């Protein structure tokens, strides 16, 4: 019924507009979309258009589908990509018994939809998803053909990338030749169901990249494709079909995935604000993503030089293209065992065997009794560890990755004992019980001989230290290179004063050189009251969390009294040293400031929304934002972070830690902290970055507001632009500046529940939607008490007291 009335409506619209440009979403038999009269189809809500176009500087004509509301012409599908029209004579028609044809001047078929079914009253309709479908007018929901089954170089939301076993049809995308020629290029992107589904980029018939198998949550080797608030994604594994798909969580967002002419998979997000596409993520993303770059039993790690090393208990012959071989050959008759390796991208599953009902014990038994089975692993980690994946033959395409997975690799009996590890490894068992607080953590230090190359953490099957202490699905293990004190002393020239970079909350930070690489060394002060716990927290958090806007922890040292953390070194030190320096702040023009705000927002979003752990930073401030040589911002100092189970949003703490000026009211007064306290600190940072002034210590002659109060007052009077740092030329970015200030103010609102979460912040910064009115900020009439976590204010015994007092004064 609905479809019929829609059909008549469409015909009516078509008839009404027949003299001018056609604006229907449908063509039926006897109607045409013709290039010479500039016809097009527009989907019902106007999201997509279909018509004729010429790409780039080409004069050839193609039928394509593009976003109708985006001024930058973005074609998502091309009908005749391999057979262009050379003039404007093209006509797209629907003919009985259900064929969609593109004809040229001499009525030769330039392109046709490959339709085998017949339809009595065929219709072609452009849907709001960007899908061009052919149906029978009487059965509009039954697509006898759809462009989503024949995509070109773009994988759109709602499309099914994969294989239909009933029809034998495979849906995949293929790159274009170049921007002037949409013809089929040399790269393709598939969802390959063989063994166990993974997605694959190929050049011709050779594999360039595999994501690793789907594990119920993500692809085993995907670093950046994680649960988020913009789109959902998944792999559907059924008897009749296997496909990979994604769907937007909000219709007003545009996202597309394309395969570039050089074979890079790119996920793009439309920014309403900059009116341009933002590159959201790419695959492959680094050298270690190259398919089987380290050969059999090799592991790739971008943080080591060279990238490739062998799994422990394997050896290379000096050439990684040949991979690694076992130190001790297997002997199935004598009874082999299994060693557990953690934190890796699972090997290629093309020839693996999957069973979703087996338990891990059954899996091990099945693998143990089959001499050709080389390894096993849980199949699905979405709900504990379920199912069974077994490998036969050499294991290839592994890399270090975070979050990574566990795999149990068959090993000769003699290799099962301890004493084989090549580098000391710290293993932290983190037990999250029933999603409440982190109840227990234990550190097991292994002191084995350190050799050059490897760092796989592993445990032999007996004894299993982990299983002895915790139920198997309630813990995760981490690894982190451990260094001894003498190495650190050498790297920092015995903590020489010349190498001191600064004094952090818990001790001094030094510059050092380790294995040719510049590093930052944080030495926890022995006198620090907060030492131990914060140290452990920091070790756990940072080792687990990897994101390009988070500072990377490279290793640690626990020896005697010493607690030392090793980080990547940031050439441009911390944001406060540049932002609040009258000369250096000129380096930060508006695009750079906006970039930094966005980077911090993304890093914080990652901390708050990582699918399994929720990390609250609790001490976000300008001096904790470090800048690398390209001025990319990275959040540092997780010393105060708390980890929670996924559904825990906040907690009460008796001890208030943090920095005055960045602390939210509910945290400073009541010790209540949550992700929204971090959002508050983020808001303060945004306003500081825009104004170039510190919130704490901000004074103006004419009133007694702090920076937040000042910003809010200007906002109320629609004078927000007056907040901007005087050295910043912003005239070409006015709407972006105004929006950023507005978002900053939304983040510092007094009422916790009014503050947006970080994913909304990221969207609000990059889209053009209407923002809610900001209510007044917390602390906005603060008489500023100049205290500081490292200052020497003799009137204040402890910063905790001062903060509370200053707040009460403020109210
Ligand atoms: C129409 O296409 C046919 C087949 O490709 C070609 O031979 C013919 O020259 C074309 N006619 C025009 C006018 O382009
Ligand atoms: C092409 O087909 C149209 C409609 O069927 C017809 O009017 C026209 O004469 C044909 N042109 C040629 C060159 O055959
Ligand atoms: C059209 O479909 C048939 C079978 O349905 C298939 O054999 C043929 O290769 C397809 N042609 C194109 C161009 O996809
Ligand atoms: C989608 O985004 C728009 C604009 O940002 C917002 O108004 C709307 O509430 C969102 N819809 C949903 C379902 O989140
Ligand atoms: C999976 O394993 C179970 C238990 O061993 C077995 O009964 C079942 O047939 C297996 N399924 C497949 C598809 O092999």
Tens of pLDDT, residue by residue over 622-634, are 988 999 988 899 9
Q: Please state, in angstroms and rounded to a whole number, the distance separating the CA atoms of residues 165 and 238.
A: 10
User: Structure tokens of 722?
Assistant: 């007056």
- Catalytic residues, by residue number, are 619
Q: Distance between alpha carbon 297 and the CA centroid of its chain, in Å? A: 27
> What b/e string do you get for 426-449 counting C-beta neighbours within 10 Å, with b at 16 or more?
bbbbbbbeeeeebeebeeeebeee
Q: Please state, in angstroms and rounded to a whole number, the distance separating the CA atoms of residues 239 and 235.
A: 13
87/274: higher pLDDT: 87
Task: Grade residue 794 by pLDDT with cuts at 50, 70 and 90.
Answer: very low
pLDDT of residue 155: 98
Ligand nearest to the CA of 363: 5
Ligand nearest to the CA of 89: 1
Q: Which residue has the tokens 């470090």?
A: 626
Pocket flag, ligand 2, residue 30 (CB < 6 Å): no
Q: Confirm whether pTM is higher than 0.85.
A: no
**Mutate which of 107, 108, 109 to test ligand 2's pocket (most atoms within 8 Å of Cβ)?**
107
777/669: higher pLDDT: 777
Q: 191 pLDDT exceeds 90? A: yes
Residues within 6 Å of ligand 1 by CB? 86, 104-106, 108
What the chain holds in terms of domains, given with CATH numbers, is 1-150 (2.90.10.10), 155-285 (no CATH), 294-424 (no CATH), 430-568 (3.30.200.20), 575-810 (1.10.510.10)
Q: Please state, in angstroms and rounded to a whole number, the distance separating the CA atoms of residues 707 and 722.
A: 12
Residue 266 phi, psi dihedral angles, 5° rounding: -125, 130
**Mutate which of 102, 108, 110, 112 to test ligand 1's pocket (most atoms within 8 Å of Cβ)?**
108
| CB neighbours of residue 8 within 10 Å | 11
Return the sign of the alpha-carbon dihedral for residues 157, 352, 223, 433. Answer: positive
Cα of 86 from ligand 1 centre, angstroms: 9
Q: Which range (59-68, 200-209, 520-529, 799-808) has the least confidence?
A: 799-808
Q: 364 pLDDT exceeds 90? A: yes
Q: What is the pLDDT of residues 440-497, one digit of tens each?
A: 222 222 222 222 233 333 333 322 222 222 222 223 445 677 788 888 888 998 888 8
Ligand nearest to the CA of 91: 2
Residue 598 phi, psi dihedral angles, 5° rounding: -60, -40
Q: What is the pLDDT of residues 85-135, one digit of tens each?
A: 999 999 999 987 778 999 999 999 999 998 878 778 889 999 999 999 999
Pocket flag, ligand 2, residue 107 (CB < 6 Å): yes
Give the CA-trace dihedral at 18, 20, 23, 29, to 10 degrees: 30
């Amino acid at each position: 019924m609905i479809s019929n009335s829609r059909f008549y409506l469409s015909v009516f619209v078509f008839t009404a507009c027949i003299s001018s440009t056609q604006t229907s979403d449908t063509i039926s038999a006897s109607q045409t979309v013709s290039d010479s009269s500039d016809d097009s189809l527009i989907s019902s809500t106007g999201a997509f258009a279909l018509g004729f176009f010429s790409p780039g500087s080409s004069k050839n004509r193609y039928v394509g589908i593009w976003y109708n509301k985006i001024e930058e012409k973005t074609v998502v599908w091309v009908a005749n990509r391999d057979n262009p029209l050379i003039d404007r004579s093209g006509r797209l028609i629907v003919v009985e018994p259900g064929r969609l044809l593109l004809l040229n001047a001499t009525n030769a078929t330039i392109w046709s939809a490959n339709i085998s079914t017949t339809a009595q009253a065929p219709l072609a309709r452009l849907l709001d998803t960007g899908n061009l479908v052919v149906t029978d007018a009487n059965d509009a929901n039954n697509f006898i053909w759809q462009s989503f089954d024949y995509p070109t170089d773009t994988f759109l939301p709602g499309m099914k990338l994969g294989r239909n076993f009933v029809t034998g049809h495979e849906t995949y995308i293929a790159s274009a030749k170049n921007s002037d020629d949409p013809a089929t290029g040399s790269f393709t992107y598939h969802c390959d169901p063989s063994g166990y589904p993974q997605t694959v980029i190929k050049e011709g018939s050779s594999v360039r990249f595999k994501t690793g198998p789907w594990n119920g949550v993500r692809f085993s080797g995907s670093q950046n494709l994680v649960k988020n608030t913009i789109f959902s994604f998944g792999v559907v594994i059924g008897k009749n079909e296997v496909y990979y798909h994604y769907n937007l969580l909000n219709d007003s967002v545009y996202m597309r995935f394309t395969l570039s002419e050089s074979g890079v998979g790119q996920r793009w997000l439309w920014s309403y604000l900059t009116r341009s596409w933002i590159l959201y993520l790419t695959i492959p993303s680094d050298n270690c993503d190259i398919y089987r770059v380290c050969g059999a039993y090799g592991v790739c790690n971008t943080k080591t030089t060279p990238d490739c090393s062998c799994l422990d208990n394997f050896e290379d012959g000096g050439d990684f293209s040949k991979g690694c071989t076992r130190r001790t050959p297997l002997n199935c008759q004598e009874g082999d065992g299994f060693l557990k390796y953690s934190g890796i991208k699972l090997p290629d599953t093309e020839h693996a065997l999957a069973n979703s009902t087996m338990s891990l014990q059954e899996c091990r038994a099945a693998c143990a009794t089959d001499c050709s089975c080389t390894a096993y692993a849980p199949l699905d980690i979405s709900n504990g560890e379920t199912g069974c994946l077994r490998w036969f033959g050499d294991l290839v395409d592994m890399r270090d990755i975070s979050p990574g997975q566990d795999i149990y690799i068959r090993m000769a009996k003699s290799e099962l004992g301890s004493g084989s590890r090549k580098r000391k490894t710290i293993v932290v068992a983190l037990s999250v019980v029933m999603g409440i607080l982190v109840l227990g953590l234990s550190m097991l230090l292994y002191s084995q001989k350190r050799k050059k190359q490897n760092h796989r953490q592993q445990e032999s099957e007996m004894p299993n230290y982990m299983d002895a202490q915790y139920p198997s699905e309630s813990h995760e293990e981490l690894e982190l290179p451990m260094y001894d004190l003498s190495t650190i002393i050498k790297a920092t020239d015995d903590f020489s004063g010349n190498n001191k970079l600064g004094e952090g909350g818990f001790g001094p930070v030094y510059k050092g050189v380790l294995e040719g690489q510049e590093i930052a060394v944080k030495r926890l002060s022995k006198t620090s009251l907060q030492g131990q716990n914060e140290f452990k927290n920091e070790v756990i958090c940072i080792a687990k969390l990897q994101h390009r806007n988070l500072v990377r922890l490279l290793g640690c040292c626990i020896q005697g009294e010493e607690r030392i953390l090793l980080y990547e070194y940031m050439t441009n030190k911390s944001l406060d040293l540049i932002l609040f320096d009258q000369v250096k702040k000129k380096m930060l023009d508006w695009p750079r400031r906006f970039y930094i705000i966005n980077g911090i927002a993304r890093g914080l979003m990652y901390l708050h929304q990582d699918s399994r752990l929720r990390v609250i930073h609790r001490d976000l401030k300008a001096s904790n934002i470090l800048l690398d040589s390209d001025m990319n911002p990275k959040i540092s100092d997780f010393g105060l972070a708390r980890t929670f189970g996924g559904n825990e949003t906040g907690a009460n703490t008796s001890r208030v830690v943090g920095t005055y000026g960045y602390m939210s009211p509910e945290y400073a007064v009541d010790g209540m902290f949550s992700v929204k306290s971090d959002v508050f600190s983020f808001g303060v940072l945004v306003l500081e970055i825009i104004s170039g002034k510190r919130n704490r210590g901000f004074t103006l002659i004419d009133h007694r507001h702090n920076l937040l109060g000042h910003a809010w007052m200007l906002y109320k009077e629609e004078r927000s632009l007056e907040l901007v740092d005087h050295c910043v030329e912003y005239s070409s970015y006015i709407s972006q500046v105004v929006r950023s200030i507005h978002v900053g103010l939304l983040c510092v609102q007094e009422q916790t529940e009014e503050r947006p979460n970080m994913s909304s912040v990221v969207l609000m910064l990059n889209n053009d939607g209407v923002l809610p009115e900001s209510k007044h900020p917390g602390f906005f009439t603060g008489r500023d008490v100049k205290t500081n976590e490292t200052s020497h204010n003799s009137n204040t015994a402890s910063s905790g007291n001062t903060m509370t007092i200053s707040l009460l004064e403020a109210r």
